[in-house]
Amino acid sequence: MTKLIASSFKSQLLSVTSKLSEQVAELKCDMETLKLARCTENNSQVQVSSLEGFKLSRQNSDKHLALIVHRTLDDVSRRKRNVVVSGLPEGTTPSDDRQAFLQLCEAHLPIKPVL
């Protein structure tokens, strides 16, 4: 009975740890986006020597900010698809780890991931 409780508790801890790691990654991405947006905003203010210069720098900063947001969203989306596996015996080489993971997926999951 205690083994079942310990196993359940361990599973819950792993789930919470995974969610926490994902949230930390999202926060880091958000912070980086804000830093770059702030730098871009500062750069656009410095380049305002004329109306045309302002329009060009503003357009470039908007494009740059849109690119950063797009990359951040792609990164968050990619991280949401990550899988954390624990309890597999350690292999001596990375290819052993890949093989063990593929065997696990083939035996217990309806998918075969691309590694």
Distance CA 38, CA 70 (A): 17
Largest Cα–Cα distance of the chain, in whole Å?
76
Tokens of 55: 């329009």
pTM confidence score: 0.36
Distance CA 29, CA 27 (A): 5
Per-residue pLDDT in tens (0 to 9) along the chain, 115 residues:
666 676 776 777 777 777 777 877 787 877 777 777 776 655 554 444 444 455 556 666 778 888 888 899 998 988 888 888 888 888 888 888 888 888 888 888 888 887 7
Residues 75-108: tens digit of each pLDDT = 898 888 888 888 888 888 888 888 888 888 888 8
Distance CA 107, CA 104 (A): 5
